[in-house]
Amino acid sequence: MIAIGECGLDYHYGAEYKHEQKEMFSRHIKAAGMTGLPIMIHQREAEEDTLSLIDEGIKEFGKLTGVIHCFTSDENFAKEVLKRGFYISASGIITFKSGENIAMVFRDYPKDKILIETDSPYLAPVPYRGKVNEPAYVVKTAEKLAELLGLAVDEVAKLTTDNFYRLYKKAKG
């Protein structure tokens, strides 16, 4: 086991279950704090509660680390999770015209705190948008991330791989 999650809060789908979601997320945070493993967080339309629960975990355990997987929020939330030492992860959304604001968050986020993912089977990058996503398409997300960061694609591959192993210390390379 190299991480706790995917877990978190989704108020887009399931807002009627906020209490139950927060209770379960708190349990996952406790597991991360007790084990020292990073936590992979799904967050959608629940920024304030996500930060509050992360802060409770940090207060209880001194430190938490992890990633906001499939980052879909704004610059303010990014700044807040960065203050807490968290990574953010780019999905195919950064290639969408409608995802331009999210893409700009990655442009400005510290390079050593960025990951990349497929978020399969959903969120296929352009030009595959609307199709079932698969790991082979991650190269399109990497190309967009390279453009945003002013790097070559192979540099993004190395950067995000290094970041992965820095976050998930128990993963074998």
**pLDDT one-digit tens code per residue, 97-138:** 999 999 999 999 999 999 999 888 989 999 999 999 999 999
Return the pLDDT at 14.
84
Q: Read off the pLDDT band of 173 (50, 70, 90).
A: low
Which residues lie closer than 8 Å to 137 by C-beta, 6 or more apart? 92, 118, 124, 125, 128
Asked if 90 contacts 141 with a C-beta cutoff of 8 angstroms, the reply is yes
DSSP classification of residue 146: H
Q: Does 13 have pLDDT greater than 80?
A: yes
4-31+38-167: CATH superfamily: Metal-dependent hydrolases (3.20.20.140)
Q: 């604001």: which residue's tokens?
A: 101
Q: What's the mean per-residue pLDDT of the chain?
A: 96
DSSP classification of residue 39: E
Domain segments of the chain: what residues? Answer: 4-31+38-167
Q: Does 156 have pLDDT greater than 80?
A: yes
Return the pLDDT at 172.
86
pTM of the model: 0.96
Mean pLDDT confidence for 26-38 = 98
Return the pLDDT at 25.
98
Mean pLDDT confidence for 73-86 = 98
SS3 133: coil
Return the pLDDT at 129.
95
Mean pLDDT confidence for 33-41 = 98
